[in-house]
Amino acid sequence: MKLDVFIAGENVDLCIPNKEFAEKSQWYSWFNDSSVTKYLYQGSMPNNHSQQVEFYESQKNNRLLLIISNRKDYMGVISLSCIDLARKHAAVALVVNSKIDKMNSPMISLESIAMITEHAFLVMGMNRVWAGQHQGLSGWQQRMELLGYRVEGIQQDAFVKGRSVADVILIAARHEDYRRIKEKRGKYWDSTETMKKRIKKLPKVKFIEQLYGFFEKSGGDYYDNILTF
């Protein structure tokens, strides 16, 4: 089946899902793949077509829910949820089945984030788009910094799945930084090739690594002292 395109990009399109897609596509199966759900809460229980339909029906009016297409296959889902029109902020989430297009999936993911973030700022009038990410995704998180997503904090031991406990890294992009990027580059997403060049120039030591170092040393000393009062 063919979905209507909602946002067209350089190499990917963000398409509008429907009930038939939830009923008949492989959308449900992405959440049964342990490599896809490694850093997600999903995956503890099997997913099926009827559960995917139920999810779609429950969320279609509450969030901006779009299917990622590489123009050959449908390979992921991206959304804006927790949309607050008064406070002008929303949460972004992305799931991509990289097995469908392993070679291009990293840039497809980054371009998809750029497309929905720009839509949030320009069309929906948001001032802030935020997310919480598993600490194991620090490389992906750093690539998102090229789109203005800054680290805002660490939620210690906030991710719990089975026997796994990990921190959640809080990140956010603000309209102010979006505007600065556009003024510098001309476009928020100018091209895949230039983004690849920027990725190669990213600092070797990630900001989140620096922040962890500060938390462990200065934060550790500070709170160890307070806890002995």
CA distances from 105 to 55, 63, 203 (A): 25, 24, 22
Q: Helix, strand, coil % (nearest 5) of the chain?
A: 45, 25, 30
133, 169 Cβ separation under 8 angstroms:
yes
Cα separation, 14 vs 114, in Å, equals: 11
CA distances from 184 to 28, 115, 119, 146, 187 (A): 40, 18, 19, 12, 8
b/e per residue 57-73 (b: at least 16 CB within 10 A): eeeeeebbbbbbbbeee
17, 114, 23: which is closest to 74 by C-alpha? 17
Which amino acid is it at 34? S
Strand partners, 121: none
173, 143 Cβ separation under 8 angstroms:
no
pLDDT at res. 225: 82
Stretch (H or E) spanning 20 = helix 19-24
Q: At what angle do helices 105-122 and 175-185 cross, to 10 degrees?
A: 110
pLDDT at res. 192: 97
Question: Whole-structure pTM over 0.85, yes or no?
Answer: yes
Domains of the chain: 5-226 (3.40.630.30)
Q: What is the DSSP-derived secondary structure letter of residue 170? A: E
Helices (H) and strands (E) in the chain, counts: 9, 8
Which amino acid is it at 203? P
Cα separation, 77 vs 75, in Å, equals: 7
pLDDT < 50 positions in the chain: none
Residue 22 has φ and ψ, to the nearest 5°, of -65, -35
pLDDT at res. 226: 83
- Tokens representing residue 92 in the block: 């972004």
